[in-house]
Each structure stands twice: as structure tokens, then as C-alpha cells.
């Protein structure tokens, strides 16, 4: 879900959307919801199928013979010209990449441009004019689809931006966990708390990701605070609360010289955090 429109409101507008009768302002919100809702996508597809059949009820209306034949003659001529263009393009591709001009050779360093051309010619020959035409049509169709998608800017872009942001965020997180310069520290908790955790320090990006399990909820009015400790200072890295199931995923950004970190610790503090730790660590990793 990436917008302010509720599922209920969006689902009530799907019939009008299928008929292309939604007002532009409402359409954007509904489309943004549908982009992220599988149930609405299925329902919309079913309704669009119903809408597409309405035209079947329109009675056929024979045209005057002269008009009917005129249109047909123009269409067939346009299509023949279109096919001729495709055949010419097909011939051009084959001629440019004729194997007797650019003999196919293999090289330890890989295929040269000429060889790629020869290979392309081979592919084109296998496809034939029809296949080439279909491929070029599909390319045109894809371009058209792209233009249509671009035309759906409002909702589509909003939904895409949201997905892209999520994806980029996930990519960043994965990089922060698995990069070449990521140091991993295991946090242990003094008994009796069963919490465990790991700190991933992505030194290339100054990114800190704490992943912890079985972390109990702090007492009322209290929160957890993460500390990065050097021999001379305890640096506040932010506060966090566990999820109801005890899982923690906390991220912070902070530059620190590689050799100055002595320990990572988590303490329980008053809500809002403290300038310095006021309790014993409930989890700690010492280097």
C-alpha cells in the first residue's frame, strides 16, 4: 500500500475504473492502490473482461459498399507497404552482416564486432522475414506499452517510486549486511535474558545494522539505546523498541575509525534516551 486510499474505497471504484469512467483525480489514487493490491488487480481484470464485452451488444452496421471497399483498399495497401519496409530492413541487416564479408572467427579474447554481426545475420536468417517482422513489431509494441505506461504518470509513478524506494532500501540493507568491508559482531546478553543479536558494521558506508532476537519489551516509559564504545567515549547511536515478537532491526549511520571501536552495547534508558548509559548493558559485544 502506497497511498492514502483505503482498500474499501479503492475496491468500490473498480467498476468505474474498468469502464474508464473515473474522474482523473480519483483515478490516480485508485491506480496507486491497485498497483500494490493483488486482490484488487484480480477484481479489476475480471471487471475489465465484463466491460470489454459490452460492445458485443452494439448491432453490426454494414457500411455502404463504396466506403467499405475504400477503407479495405487503403488498409491492405498500408499493410503491404509496412511489410515491404520490414523486408527491406531485413535485407539490410543480412547484407550488412554477410558472412562472406566478415568471416566468422573465434578469438581467445572474445568475439569481435564483425563476428557479432555475422551471428546476428545468422539469427535473422533463421527468423525469416515473418519472424523479423514479428520481432520488430514486438519491439514497437513494447515501445507503445512504455509510452502508455508513461502516460499513466500520476498513479503509476507514485506506485513505482514507492516500490523503487523500497527496493533501493532493501538493496542498501543487503549491501550493509553482506559487503566486502562489513565487520560482524555477536552481541551476548548476560543471563537471565535470552536475547541474542548481531551488529553488522559496513565500514565502506559508515552504516550500522543491529539485528536482534528475543528482546523483551522494556519497562513502561523506557526504551533501548545503542552505544558504540571507544576506549575514551560511549557514543549514542540511537534508541529503538523491539517488535511485539521480540525482533529488532535497527539501522544507524555513523563514521568511526576502523581501529577505534572497543565494544557495542545496548542499555535500557528513559524514553528519549540518555546522554550516557545509566544502566548495565543488557546486550554487549566486546572486540
Q: Which positions lie near other proteins, rule CB under 8 A? A: 12-13, 15-16, 18-24, 46-47, 49-63, 67-68, 70-72, 74-76, 78-80, 82-83, 86, 129-131, 133-134, 137-138, 140-141, 144
- The nearer residue to other proteins, 117 or 124, going by C-beta atoms, is 124
Give least dist CB 60 to other proteins, A. 4
SS3 content of the chain, % helix, strand, coil (to 5): 50, 20, 30
Instruction: Judge whether 117 and 104 are in contact, CB under 8 Å.
Output: no
Which residues fall within 8 angstroms of residue 214, CB to CB, at 6 or more apart?
194, 195, 196, 246
User: With respect to other proteins, which residue has the nearer C-beta, 13 or 283?
Assistant: 13
* 38 or 61: CB nearest other proteins: 61
- Cα(first)–Cα(last) distance of the chain, in Å? 42
Which among 240, 230, 224 has a CA at the least distance from the CA of 277?
A: 224
CB of 53 to other proteins, least distance (A): 5
Q: How far is the CB of 89 from other proteins (least distance, A)?
A: 12
Q: Scan for cell 548493558, then name that residue.
A: 281
Distance CA 6, CA 13 (A): 11
Judged by beta carbon, residue 16 or residue 182, the one nearer other proteins is 16
How many whole angstroms separate alpha carbon 287 and alpha carbon 282?
17
* Beta carbon nearer to other proteins, 136 or 230: 136
- Identify the residue whose cell numbers are 539490410: 92
Smallest distance from the beta carbon of 48 to other proteins, in angstroms?
9
* Cβ 74 to other proteins shortest distance, Å: 6
Amino acid at each position: 500500500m502506497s497511498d492514502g486510499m483505503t482498500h474499501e474505497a479503492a475496491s468500490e471504484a473498480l467498476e468505474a475504473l474498468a469502464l474508464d469512467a473515473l474522474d482523473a483525480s480519483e483515478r490516480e489514487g485508485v491506480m496507486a492502490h491497485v498497483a500494490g493490491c493483488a486482490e484488487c488487480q484480480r477484481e479489476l481484470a475480471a471487471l475489465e473482461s465484463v466491460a470489454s464485452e459490452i460492445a458485443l451488444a452494439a448491432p453490426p452496421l454494414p457500411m455502404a459498399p463504396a466506403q467499405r471497399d475504400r477503407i479495405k483498399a487503403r488498409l491492405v495497401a498500408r499493410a503491404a507497404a509496412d511489410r515491404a519496409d520490414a523486408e527491406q530492413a531485413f535485407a539490410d541487416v543480412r547484407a550488412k552482416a554477410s558472412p562472406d564479408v566478415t568471416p566468422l572467427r573465434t578469438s581467445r579474447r572474445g568475439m569481435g564486432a564483425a563476428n557479432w554481426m555475422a551471428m546476428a545475420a545468422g539469427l535473422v536468417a533463421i527468423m525469416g522475414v515473418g519472424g523479423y517482422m514479428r520481432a520488430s513489431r514486438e519491439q514497437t509494441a513494447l515501445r507503445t506499452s512504455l509510452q502508455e505506461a508513461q502516460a499513466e504518470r500520476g498513479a503509476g509513478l507514485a506506485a513505482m517510486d514507492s516500490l523503487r524506494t523500497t527496493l533501493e532500501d532493501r538493496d542498501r540493507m543487503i549491501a550493509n549486511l553482506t559487503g566486502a568491508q562489513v565487520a560482524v559482531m555477536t552481541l551476548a546478553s548476560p543471563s537471565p535474558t535470552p536475547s541474542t543479536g548481531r551488529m553488522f558494521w559496513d565500514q565502506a558506508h559508515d552504516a550500522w545494522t543491529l539485528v536482534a532476537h528475543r528482546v523483551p519489551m522494556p519497562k513502561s516509559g523506557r526504551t533501548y539505546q545503542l552505544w558504540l564504545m571507544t576506549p575514551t567515549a560511549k557514543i549514542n547511536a540511537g534508541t529503538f523498541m523491539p517488535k511485539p515478537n521480540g525482533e529488532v532491526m535497527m539501522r544507524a549511520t555513523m563514521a568511526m575509525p576502523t581501529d577505534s571501536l572497543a565494544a557495542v552495547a545496548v542499555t535500557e534508558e528513559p524514553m528519549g534516551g540518555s546522554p550516557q548509559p545509566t544502566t548495565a548493558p543488557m546486550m554487549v559485544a566486546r572486540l
